[in-house]
């Protein structure tokens, strides 16, 4: 989910008026599982771009760009990928330990 929104943010970095999307995680109360929260739009100010020839420009020649910072998005993508890899490794190690336990019990 995080990688999906990071990809959308990167794809729309040059879209006028686009606000960066973020998604968080929280623990579900009854099951203890981790769920994604609602998608939130970053409320930081939009970049003001001076381009008098742009059809979106106001009387002063400015229009609102996006608030996407590509460096932040790349860092978020790496963090999400590393979290996914760590979780995958945890599941693999658990499977290996369970398999070893079953082998010991068969003896």
Residue 93 pLDDT level (bands cut at 50, 70, 90): very high
**Could you read off the pLDDT of 25-46 as tens digits, one per residue?**
777 777 777 777 888 998 999 9
Query: Beta 34-41 vs 21-27: how paired, if at all?
Result: antiparallel
Q: Is residue 48 a contact partner of residue 65, using CB atoms and an 8 Å limit?
A: yes
* Cβ-proximal residues to 34 (8 Å cutoff; 6+ apart), any chain: 25, 26, 27, 28
Domain count, the chain: 1
What's residue 36's pLDDT?
A: 78
**Could you read off the pLDDT of 46-74 as tens digits, one per residue?**
999 999 999 999 999 999 999 999 999 99
C-alpha span between 35 and 84 (Å, rounded): 14
Report if pTM > 0.85: no
53 is in which domain, residue-wise? 2-106
């Amino acid at each position: 989910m995080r990688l999906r929104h990071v990809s959308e943010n990167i794809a729309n970095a040059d879209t006028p008026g686009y606000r960066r999307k973020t998604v968080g995680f929280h623990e579900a109360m009854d099951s203890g599982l981790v769920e994604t929260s609602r998608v939130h739009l970053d409320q930081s100010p939009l970049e003001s771009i001076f381009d008098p020839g742009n059809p979106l420009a106001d009387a002063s020649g400015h229009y609102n760009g996006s608030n996407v910072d590509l460096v932040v998005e790349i860092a978020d993508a790496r963090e999400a990928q590393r979290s996914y890899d760590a979780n995958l490794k945890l599941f693999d190690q658990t499977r290996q330990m369970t398999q070893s336990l079953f082998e010991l019990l068969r003896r």
